Amino acid sequence: MPHSYDTPPAVLDHPLEVGPDDWQGPAFYQLMTALVVPRPIGWISTISASGVPNIAPYSYFNLMGSDPPYVAFGSTGVKDSLTNLREVPQFVANIVTMDLLERMNFTSGDFPRDEDEFTWAGLTQVAAEKVRPFRVGEAKAHLECEVMHIVTDRNTNIVLGRIIHAHVDPSVWKNGRVDPRLLDPVCRLSGSGYAALGDLVNVQRPQWKNIEGTIGLEAMPRAERR
């Protein structure tokens, strides 16, 4: 039975084995958000039934499927975004690029529900194509979504949204696709830590027709720096 620790130790002198209820306070949250990195950020815009726009960043966020295309984001507790989605079940996942890092962070403030974070952060409200919530005009890409399910387990609320429309600015497009360097997305680490894209590499997907008849790792596709 591996020995564990009652609190996060300053120095780990043997491997850590820990469950979500073993530590007090935010320590397990800090551990898991330091392990699952980098995370993309969904800058989620919603609107209340009475028409007050809302925008907030969520890094419990990712694509969940492609046929049909889905995104999911997770709200810890019932925040304004979730309350709005229960009234108007649509959202825009605005893509956060490095030039918008500070403004994205500003919109995570605990603004009262009737305060419009777009205005506070100097962001332009642009009408979306297929949903009621606004796009962030300054964002280079947007995914417009319809809420299909909200899964609730205690304080965790997972919003499953079907993507019904995408919008991309020409400035991030090169050779027939979105260029990651031009997009320059923000990568979330833990706490107040963020990163930009580092080295870019390509590695081909394995195919049995290339593997059959070879030995060991001979046919393993190799990574190439771009």
DSSP 161: E
Q: How far is the CB of 201 from ligand FMN (least distance, A)?
A: 26
Instruction: Kindly write out the interface string for residues 21-40 of this chain, putting x where it contacts ligand FMN by CB under 6 A and - elsewhere.
Output: --------------------
Residue type, 7: T
Phi, then psi, of 7 in degrees rounded to 5: -140, 165
The whole-angstrom separation of Cα 161 and Cα 148 is: 6
Q: Considering only 7-15, 71-79, 140-148, 165-173, which stretch makes contact with ligand FMN by CB under 6 A?
A: 71-79
Q: Does 41 bind ligand FMN (CB under 6 A)?
A: yes
Does the footprint of ligand FMN cover residue 103 (CB under 6 A)?
no
54 near ligand FMN, rule: CB under 6 A? yes
Closest to 57 measured CA to CA, from 38, 36, 81, 28: 81
Q: With binding defined as CB under 6 A, does residue 58 bind ligand FMN?
A: yes
- Candidates 47, 72, 80, 183; binder of ligand FMN (CB under 6 A) is 80
Interface characters, 159-198, with ligand FMN (x: CB under 6 A):
-----------------------------x----------
Q: Which of 95, 125, 107 is nearest to 186 (CA)?
A: 95
Task: State which of residues 13, 102, 110, 199 lies at the interface with ligand FMN (CB under 6 A).
Answer: 110
Looking at residue 155, the DSSP 8-state letter turns out to be: T
Coil, strand or helix at 91: strand
How many chain residues bind ligand FMN (CB under 6 A)? 17
Contact in structure between 55 and 107 (CB atoms under 8 Å)? yes
* Residue 53 to residues 79, 207, 224, Cα–Cα distance (Å): 14, 48, 44
Q: Which residues bind ligand FMN (CB under 6 A)?
A: 41, 54, 56-60, 74-76, 79-81, 105, 108, 110, 188
